[in-house]
Chains A and B, each alone.
Chain A
């Protein structure tokens, strides 16, 4: 990349006398990012058997679940929702990505699924909390960002729209993480059925006030082609996807697909499913925005909430010697009370002090 940088400098010198040279700034920033590499944390949620693992493997061309042992029904009866993490380093054209997949086995599998999303929301909050602590600390050079940047939620294709567990899950998470709902195993639906289901799901999402991830608006000065693609993307949600771990021969080419007696489903064929749209959006065009929204919106919400409740707790506890000027706070609601209790158990004395010290100094 230094080679590229020098090349740019040389060519521009000859072309333009008025050239100062700060147009290389984006390249300078690039260079640092390429050296450091990127990271991305993707969560997948949905019942067992909806093709989550296969889809992840298809998206990133990995085989993350090679040694997985699937539990049988008996073993699953007493299983609670777990959170498992798989990390893989991917490199392509000199760009390094540390990809973390957070899986949620057991979700929705029990007979009684009351609040089965609780371990998931807890996990997301824990990552926020860790980041908040790190950010308030003294040595901030190598903060690890384990915050969940995106959650793919798998809706089964068998029903007629969202089920109660789907609605409750998404509502529990929509203000903590970017949710992208997917219609899974779409190869059991005809094109008409897909369209009907999508319309129904979109409708219900709106009706129930679920805030799924919104693609940012196009700038007015974007090229027409880009604007058109963006429009198509938005109209296509929720994406109906199919994944595959196997390569088959179709139309003289080797493709990822599923071989049926009645035909071959090609994962990357846009007329068969929306896999390509999902991949393009997730990886090639919106990965950075997903991270930005996580940082700028979800995390900031969490942080603001955290500080407010800590301040109110301080006032209650009288832990500090000096009188603390109180912020004008709304009366704590049920949710805040619950969080206050949670914080008390989780944070140890020193960490709490570091955060409080920051508060005490400046308020």
Chain B
């Protein structure tokens, strides 16, 4: 792999002594340069009841204070009467790579007495981002690079009951998995023993299967055998049981992120303690681009086809055409 910052001059001089070298692999370097200049965008939504550690986990994931709690004032601490959608953006940089990270929080979800249809405002928000992108795309005078506010990934926080999914969990994931990548996590997993954790995961996976809920990484979107192999390993482990923390403690001479109790210290990044590191690797280090690709090439395209077909029902009542070969899920009109 070409080093970042190495000039084409040096490479060419070396290469011209290689007889029979055209140099087309240099296009990778050109792409990289451009991507580095432009920067990346990533939009992550967190959903779950109050107190499940959403903000802490987001901060832990990105090792900076990017969550809503870190920027809000104390007046906002009460539970809102309706679900609110709050977006906060930060530009973070690492090794020359700039990323505009947007964390979309959903305070009020699942906190009311009557939580019927609590997924609706969230669905509406997600579709509104698709709509905005579509509007930009069909403009006559299009921008060179459309700003991407589409939700790439939705982390759903499951409380660590240890039993099975609750009706609200199933309701939410069933509806939202049709429009966005859902990554469910078992939150505050430090209340479960390893056996309880395994049992809980199994039950959750069964519940998901029984309700035909497709979470990320979705089986039907595996591109080839290599992808499938990698993703099967992940599918055998999800949902990840996570613990978040922004406090450091001294453990065996090292300073680590963790939660200190009388009986021991839970190390957040220790994979024998919890699966935070796997979640981080999945979301950030290995599958971030894939998550974005699925959002843009599958969910967004599905939305676009729906929109285009809305005004074009065929005269003989035939259903609309499929987008990119992926069968269209039924969407009720009030969901838009």
Contact = CB atoms under 8 A, between A and B. Distances in A.
Given A25-B288, A92-B22, A225-B7, A20 B63 contact: yes
B286 A28 contact: yes
Contacts of A139: 321-325
Given A20-B94, A92-B22, A283-B22, A288 B34 contact: yes
A340 to B, nearest CB: 17
B147 interface: no
B308 A140 contact: no
A206 B24 CA distance: 32
Contacts of B281: 9, 21
B269 to A, nearest CB: 9
A284 B8 CA distance: 7
A289 B29 CA distance: 12
Contact of B297 (A5, A22, A141): A141
A215 interface: no
Nearest to A285: B8
A348 interface: no
B313 to A, nearest CB: 12
Contacts of A280: 8, 12, 23
A36 to B, nearest CB: 10
Interface stretch (A75-83, A93-101, A102-110): A93-101
Interface in B236-293: 280-281, 284-290, 293
A284 B26 contact: yes
B308 A61 contact: no
Given A25-B40, A229-B7, A304 B141 contact: yes
B72 interface: no
B192 interface: no
Interface in B22-64: 22-28, 30-32, 34-37, 40, 42, 61-63
B179 to A, nearest CB: 18
Given A95-B24, A285-B30, A296-B144, A22 B289 contact: no
B37 A20 contact: no
A59 B22 contact: yes
A22 B280 CA distance: 10
A226 B284 contact: no
B284 A33 contact: no
B30 A287 contact: yes
Interface in B2-30: 4-5, 7-12, 16, 19-28, 30
Contact of B289 (A28, A59, A90, A276): A28
Contacts of B63: 18-20
A24 B286 contact: yes
Contacts of B321: 138-139
A9 B95 CA distance: 13
A25 B97 contact: yes
Contacts of B322: 138-139
Interface in A13-53: 18-35, 38
A307 interface: yes
Interface stretch (A122-130, A167-175, A353-361): A353-361
A362 interface: yes
B305 interface: yes
A327 to B, nearest CB: 8
A26 B144 contact: no
Interface in A255-285: 268, 276, 279-280, 283-285
A208 interface: no
Nearest to B23: A284
A335 interface: no
A283 B61 CA distance: 39
B301 to A, nearest CB: 6
Contacts of A317: none
Contact of A138 (B25, B36, B323): B323
B27 A95 contact: yes
A140 B5 CA distance: 35
B329 interface: no
B138 A358 contact: yes
A94 B28 CA distance: 11
B284 A22 contact: yes
A302 B287 CA distance: 36
A254 B247 CA distance: 65
Contacts of B26: 283-285, 287
A219 B37 CA distance: 10
A335 B19 CA distance: 49
A60 interface: yes
Contact of B25 (A2, A21, A60, A92): A92
A308 interface: yes
Nearest to A268: B16
B32 A21 contact: no
A223 B288 contact: no
Contacts of B311: 357, 360-361
Given A138-B321, A357-B311, A358-B308, A287 B25 contact: no
A249 interface: no
Interface of B: 1, 4-5, 7-12, 16, 19-28, 30-32, 34-37, 40, 42, 61-63, 92, 94-97, 99, 135, 138, 140-142, 144, 223-224, 226, 230, 280-281, 284-290, 293, 297, 301, 305, 307-309, 311-312, 321-325
Interface of A: 2, 4-5, 9, 18-35, 38, 59-61, 90, 92-95, 97, 138-141, 219, 223, 225-226, 229, 254, 268, 276, 279-280, 283-289, 292, 296, 300, 303-304, 307-308, 327, 357-358, 360-362
Given A26-B35, A303-B140, 4 more contacts: A26-B97, A38-B24, A285-B26, A288-B34
9 contacts: A9-B286, A22-B97, A38-B27, A92-B22, A140-B301, A140-B324, A283-B27, A292-B34, A361-B311
